[in-house]
Structure 1
Amino acid sequence: MDFDVIVLGAGIVGVSCAIHLQDRSRRVALLDRGAPGDGTSFGNAGLIERSAVTPYAFPRSMGALLRYARNRSTDLYWDYKALPGFAPWLARYWHESSPARLAEAARDMLPLVRLCVDEHNALVARAGADAATLVHPTGWIEAFRTPSEYSAAAKRAEQLASAQGLRLDTLDGAALRAREPALSDAFCAGLHWLDPECVTNPGALTKAYAALFETGGGTIVSGDAATARAENDAWTVQTLNGTISARELVVALGPWSDTVFAPLGYRIPLRAKRGYHMHYEATREAPLGRAILDREQGYVIAPMQRGLRLTTGIELAAREAPPTGIQLARAEAYARPAFGLGQRLDPQPWLGLRPCTPDMRPVIGPAPRHRGLWFAFGHAHHGLTLGPVTGRLLAEMMTGAAPFTDPSPYRPARF
């Protein structure tokens, strides 16, 4: 065999899997069509989200459903042409979002979330000074426009923080502006989650981890993951320089993972929630210190190396559909006066895909019907957060070590 393992996908999850397998003496090839970190891992809000102990659920209140049905909200836009294709997936998502099932999903995700910052910091320490300049222990802030929304959210947040041992500062209007002078008076209060960390260039962080992998002797190759085939007790993939083979294959292609698992007969309900980002010039004298979520409008403004990045909420549309620009325009109308956004810095909005399963858990573990085939995808909004901890868990499973947590909630065979 050319390698022990071929990892398909050089986003944050695939790179992390490759490093952890290499740490356990596996000869690893990391394959992607593009450069590491240039896909979904490039365009997110840059949060290592230690406080994300409850998954993003399908809204179940009648008020929220009616609001989204009008299709005029900032945090969700849906393309009517795509809804028939999404309908079965959305129905299961709604079912899995019942209070009891959501609580079960939160319990299942907690072991991964608890270690997310520690696992990132371990890789950052190894990846060197360039990586260290990208990660900042500033936490992030939920900002609220109306007192009633803040009051209800603060009660829930304080209960959650107490139950989970999370650090939380509740901020009235004056305290919020003292902590973030760049904010306008559009916001009346905020919740500062202190445990998460902010990344000022997620794509560059992924590249720094990929460089660590190469420094350790790993191989990065360009090729087409869809050419993966099982042949004579091995897996082969076509690269630009010919065919490579390995005993084991890891599918970590995020929203494109179905290009490999579907031809092999797996019917995993993986769908992509689309999202956009754009960078803007900062016009206010005080710099923004951390990511801010406009809770009531559903977008994030985060300080990045390139400027202020606006990251939108969810767009439900066909994966291959052209960008619409609708959601970004809606969010920008609220964000520009609130944050003092200046001119756009990107020639066009960036469009990315969040790989989601309806039960709000990633798919991590062995494929049930193919020897040597492993899955690591479906991290929804938290791919950056959960990449390194996923890499550790998968590598432990693949090498016969005792997993740090029970991996059964993420098993591919559940579908």
Structure 2
Amino acid sequence: MTTHKTDVIVLGAGVVGVSAALHLQQRGRAVVLVDRQQPGEGTSYGNAGLIENASVIPYMFPRDLRHLLRYALNRTADVHYRLSDAPSFVPWLVRYFLASSPEGTMRSAMAALPLIKRSLIEHEALIAQAGVPELLRYTGWIKLFRSEASLAKALDELETARGLGVDGTVLDPAAIAAREPLLRGSFTGGIHWPTPGFIPDPGGLVRAYADLFERRGGRVLLGDAATLEGARDGWRIAQPDGALSARDVVVALGPWSDQVFRPLGYRIPLGVKRGYHQHLKPRDNAVLRHPVLDADRGYLLAPMNRGIRLTTGAEFARRDAPPTPVQIARTVPLARELFPLGEAIEPQPWLGARPCLPDMLPVIGRAPRHPGLWFDFGHQHHGLTLGPATGRLLAELMTGETPFADPAPFAAERFS
């Protein structure tokens, strides 16, 4: 059997894997990307399109009794759970809850802050190199509030964000109407986060990054990461025309990363938050200028190239369980009250899974017990945001450069 050799195999062709491959390639490494799908067809395809350099506070588990009771009833649009799957996700939820103390939240925020601050800069560089400036818009996004309580909580969070170097503009109802004149509803206020970038075609952006990688000599192959095995000189993966071997391999498979690290003996608590989206046509050529989050009702509308994308909150279920698009059914009527929307463009909602660790930080760096094995997964709600920044951090670690951020908070050993 013929064996093809390269320097690095990157498993996973989403935004995280493609970004890591590009950064390694820029540092002189020969890289092959391997995935069972084409670039940008997995989790990276389905998101709100935000490069969220304003989200300095991670999405932690709520601790106030009001939210917990609402979620327990399983009737909300922003969180849903499959009761039959509870044995698979409740232990992870317990770890998530414990990591979401005020102290734990600030530890995670401070650890991720260098990555968050670097996120848009790294995207801008890759977008310029890929020649797709039309895929980045500088609109920021708007968060709307319908109750005084939710607005007050958001204003407290805004003060915390300001202390970490991120600002937002507080909007009264008149200012909301000025920015988005076609929105309907009774709002106590809102916040416009002006600095995040917006990507109107996230899957297209990942494909553009992959095209750049191939133009620079990289290879993208279809393959099964589960065939990975250790070899005398590194690692090997099966291919239809023979094996592919490399000294180093990067696991960047998002929610499927456990298919590689578990057989190797790692007990990293990788969970998933499933999410849905569906595109709808705007009625009468209505224009939505910004991505808009209806915070009290738990959905977001984003003006994508394909149509207005409605994205849901989190669904807790087994990663590969059949779709239960309850949240789409609950939110489409609410979204039509907010903005003039017509019929759905796709017959069925899209389902994806966000890979999450309990502390809402990714795993980045060397595998503790296997030379040449590297991790880059668990980016929770911020895969699109953080992919290029964590790709740079990983490449710096792999090539012996001084890393731009402290890698210690992202080490796999924190779960040992």
Which residue number corresponds to residue 397 of structure 1?
A: 397
Which residue number corresponds to residue 81 of structure 2?
A: 78
Instruction: Give distance in 1, aligned partners of 2:194 and 2:93.
Output: 33
Q: 5+ residue gaps in structure 1? A: none
Shift of residue 185 of structure 1? 2.7
- SS of the residue 2:177 aligns to: helix
Which residue number corresponds to residue 35 of structure 1?
A: 38
Which residue number corresponds to residue 58 of structure 1?
A: 61
Which residue number corresponds to residue 149 of structure 1?
A: 150
Contact 1:181–1:286 (CA under 8 A) maintained in structure 2:
no
Instruction: Give distance in 2, aligned partners of 1:141 and 1:318.
Output: 31
Instruction: Give distance in 1, aligned partners of 2:336 and 2:195.
Output: 28
Which residue number corresponds to residue 162 of structure 1?
A: 162
2:15 maps to 1:21: no
- SS of the residue 1:392 aligns to: helix
Counterpart residue type for residue 392 of structure 1: R
Instruction: Note the 1:223-262 alignment, pairs <5 A.
Output: 223-262=223-262
Instruction: Give distance in 1, aligned partners of 2:149 and 2:57.
Output: 22
- SS of the residue 2:268 aligns to: coil
Instruction: Give distance in 1, aligned partners of 2:404 and 2:227.
Output: 33
What whole-Å deviation, never above 9, does each CA across 1:78-113 have from its counterpart, x for those lacking one?
011111121221111111001111111111111110
Instruction: Give distance in 2, aligned partners of 1:120 and 1:215.
Output: 18
Which residue number corresponds to residue 130 of structure 2?
A: 127
RMSD after superposition:
1.1
Which residue number corresponds to residue 379 of structure 1?
A: 379
Counterpart residue type for residue 371 of structure 2: R
Relative to structure 2, which stretch is displaced further, 246-255 or 146-155?
Answer: 146-155
Which residue number corresponds to residue 140 of structure 2?
A: 139
2:295 maps to 1:292: no
Contact 1:52–1:113 (CA under 8 A) maintained in structure 2:
yes
Counterpart residue type for residue 79 of structure 2: L
Instruction: Give distance in 2, aligned partners of 1:201 and 1:397.
Output: 30
Contact 1:17–1:388 (CA under 8 A) maintained in structure 2:
yes
Contact 1:182–1:285 (CA under 8 A) maintained in structure 2:
no
Contact 2:11–2:17 (CA under 8 A) maintained in structure 1:
yes
Q: Which of the numbers 60, 69, 72 marks the counterpart of 2:72?
A: 69
User: Aligned residue pairs: how many?
Assistant: 412
Instruction: Give distance in 1, aligned partners of 2:236 and 2:330.
Output: 46
Instruction: Give distance in 2, aligned partners of 1:247 and 1:162.
Output: 44
Contact 2:272–2:319 (CA under 8 A) maintained in structure 1:
yes
Instruction: Give distance in 2, aligned partners of 1:79 and 1:367.
Output: 33
Shift of residue 286 of structure 1? 4.2
Contact 1:22–1:28 (CA under 8 A) maintained in structure 2:
yes
TM-score by length of 2: 0.97
Q: Percent identity?
A: 54
Contact 2:279–2:307 (CA under 8 A) maintained in structure 1:
yes
Instruction: Give distance in 2, aligned partners of 1:156 and 1:362.
Output: 23
- SS of the residue 2:229 aligns to: strand
Instruction: Note the 1:185-196 alignment, pairs <5 A.
Output: 185-196=185-196
Relative to structure 2, which stretch is displaced further, 221-230 or 328-337?
Answer: 328-337
Which residue number corresponds to residue 307 of structure 2?
A: 307
Shift of residue 134 of structure 1? 1.1
Instruction: Give distance in 1, aligned partners of 2:6 and 2:148.
Output: 58
Counterpart residue type for residue 182 of structure 2: A
TM-score by length of 1: 0.97
What whole-Å deviation, never above 9, does each CA across 1:150-180 have from its counterpart, x for those lacking one?
23422431x1343122231111111101101
What whole-Å deviation, never above 9, does each CA across 1:49-106 have from its counterpart, x for those lacking one?
0111011111111111111110001100001111112122111111100111111111
Instruction: Give distance in 2, aligned partners of 1:54 and 1:216.
Output: 36
Shift of residue 145 of structure 1? 1.6
Which residue number corresponds to residue 331 of structure 2?
A: 331
Which residue number corresponds to residue 7 of structure 1?
A: 10
Shift of residue 238 of structure 1? 1.4
Counterpart residue type for residue 21 of structure 1: L
Instruction: Give distance in 1, aligned partners of 2:188 and 2:282.
Output: 22
Counterpart residue type for residue 86 of structure 1: F
Alpha carbons of 1:155 and 1:358: their partners in 2 closer, same or farther (altered >3 Å)?
closer
Instruction: Give distance in 2, aligned partners of 1:387 and 1:182.
Output: 34
